[in-house]
Amino acid sequence: MQTPNETGLDAMAPPRDTRTRRSAAETRERVLDVAHELFYWQGIRSTGVDTIARTAGIAPTTLYRLFASKDELVAAYVERAATHHKDWFAAATRSSIGSPRARILALFDALGEEVQPERCRGCPFLMVLAELPDSGHAGHSHAVAVKAWVREQLGELTAELASTTPVRAPAALADALALLMDGVYGSVQSFGVTGPAARARAIAEMLLDAAGRVDDIP
C-alpha cells in the first residue's frame, strides 16, 4: 500500500539546476507522488500546498492548474491510494492461491508485510477519516468507499468459504476479519509489528476454525 520512506523528502525534489520538462499528465503524477509521501507521513492538515509544490519542483500556480484546491488534491490522493490498496488486496487474495481459507490467511500474511515500519504508519484511510471528519469532503467519501469495498470483498470470501465448509454466519465472520485488519493497523502504531499485530494470522485461523461452531461467532 505505502511506498517505503527510505530516501527522505529532500531526495524526492529534483536538483536546483535541473530543468525537467514534463507533460501535464506526468506533472500530475509527480505531484500525487509527493502528496502521497507528505500527506501519509506528515499529515494532511500539517502539509501545505506550497510545500508540495516546492518538493515536486514546480510553482504553486502550476499545481493549482492541475488541482483547483487543496481539497481536490487531497481527494485525488485518497482516490489513488484506494486504487493501490484494491490492487494489493486483489493480489493478496488471488484465486490461484487456492481455497477461500488459504486466500484469507494469505491476506493476513500480506498484511504482516504491509505494516512493516519502513512502509507503514497506520491505515491511510482511517487516518484520512480522522483528519477529515466532514462526510461531505470527497477525500472522506473515498476513504469510506474503500473500507466498504474491503468489507464487501471479505464477505465474498467468507461466502465462498461457506459454500464448501460449514460456516454458521459468513457475514459475521467477514465483520470479524475486517475488525482484525483494522486492529492490525491500529496496533502497530502503539506496539510495533512484534506486538499484538504479530498474532493476527493466528487469530484469523482461530476465527475460521470457530466459524463452524454454533456458539463462537454471534
pLDDT in tens, 1-32: 554 444 455 445 544 434 467 789 999 999 99
Q: Does residue 149 sit in helix, strand or coil?
A: helix
Distance of alpha carbon 114 from alpha carbon 119, whole angstroms:
7
User: Which position has the grid cell 484465486?
Assistant: 95
pTM of the model: 0.86
Q: Do domains 9-69 and 71-210 have the same CATH topology?
A: no
Give me the architecture of the 9-69 domain, per CATH: Orthogonal Bundle (1.10)
Distance of alpha carbon 217 from alpha carbon 211, whole angstroms:
6
- Dihedral angle of Cα 113, 119, 123, 127, to the nearest 10 degrees: 170
Q: Where are the domains of the chain?
A: 9-69, 71-210
C-beta of residue 62 within 8 angstroms of C-beta of residue 36: no
DSSP structural state of residue 20: -
- Which three three-digit cell numbers place residue 215? 456458539
pLDDT(91) > 90:
yes
Average pLDDT along the chain:
90
- Which three three-digit cell numbers place residue 140? 472522506
- Which three three-digit cell numbers place residue 179? 475488525
pLDDT of residue 218: 52
The predicted-structure confidence for 31-53, as pLDDT tens digits, reads as follows 999 999 999 999 999 999 999 99
DSSP structural state of residue 7: S
User: How large is the average pLDDT for residues 99-109?
Assistant: 97
User: How large is the average pLDDT for residues 176-195?
Assistant: 96
User: How large is the average pLDDT for residues 58-67?
Assistant: 96
Residue 40: half-sphere exposure toward Cβ, Cα within 13 Å: 25
pLDDT(81) > 80:
yes
User: How large is the average pLDDT for residues 194-208?
Assistant: 97
Which residues are CB-contacts of 179 (< 8 A; sequence separation ≥ 6)? none
Percentage of the chain modeled with pLDDT above 70: 88
Return the CATH fold of 71-210.
Answer: Tetracycline Repressor; domain 2 (1.10.357)
C-beta of residue 55 within 8 angstroms of C-beta of residue 12: yes
